[in-house]
Amino acid sequence: MADDALTPDPGQPLANGADTAPAAGMISQYVKDLSFENPNAPAIYQTPEPPQIDVQFNIGTGQVGEEVHEVTLKIDVRAETGGQVAFIVDLTYAGLFGFRNVPADQIQPFLLGEAPRLLFPFGRRVLADAVRDGGFPPLLLEPIDFAQLYLQQSAQQGDVQAGVVGQA
């Protein structure tokens, strides 16, 4: 019973700054920009061959408050068939992420690896719905390992920086 008196109630914040455990989490998520173009309708629906689809991703981050960052997942899709554009979709899906007591060197890996992983399934659904609503079969993108992409890009940038330093 004495131990119970020393254990804080998990539902109550600790007093006087005693709550120092690192915490990161999503505050909200939203469509920031969505554009769907179907420039060759209705003729494009008569084309029997499936379209060639090009998908591009970009991740952006920005600090919007003392401990709040916005992460944007930009997905650009261009589908062409028979030399004509079938459809173009531009989606910017974003989320706000809050941090408390997180070391500064851990924020960027979270923003560029974990945050896009959390946003992707919801952005993927918005994109699939937009393509379906445009008269095409839903475009279901394969899951992406954003953490691995972040690690690869960090390693490449480290190699480039090491090469520049090594040449000096």
This prediction's pTM:
0.78
Burial code (b: 16+ CB inside 10 Å, e: under 16) for 71-98 equals: bbbbbebbbbbeeeebbbbbbbbbbbbb
Query: Which residues are paired to 58 by β-bridges?
Result: 74
Domain that holds residue 105: 28-138
CATH number at residue 89: 3.10.420.10
Q: How many domains does the chain have?
A: 1
- State how far the alpha carbon of 112 is from the alpha carbons of 69, 132, 145, 151, in Å: 11, 29, 11, 10
Residue 68 domain flag: yes
Residue 17 domain flag: no
Residue 166 domain flag: no
The DSSP call for residue 42 is T
Q: What is the mean pLDDT of each run of 10 residues along the chain (168 residues)?
A: 51 60 92 96 89 94 94 97 94 96 90 94 97 94 88 75 45
Q: What is the pLDDT of residue 166?
A: 44
Residue 5 domain flag: no
Taking the C-alpha atoms of residue 40 and residue 67, their distance in angstroms, rounded to an integer, is 46
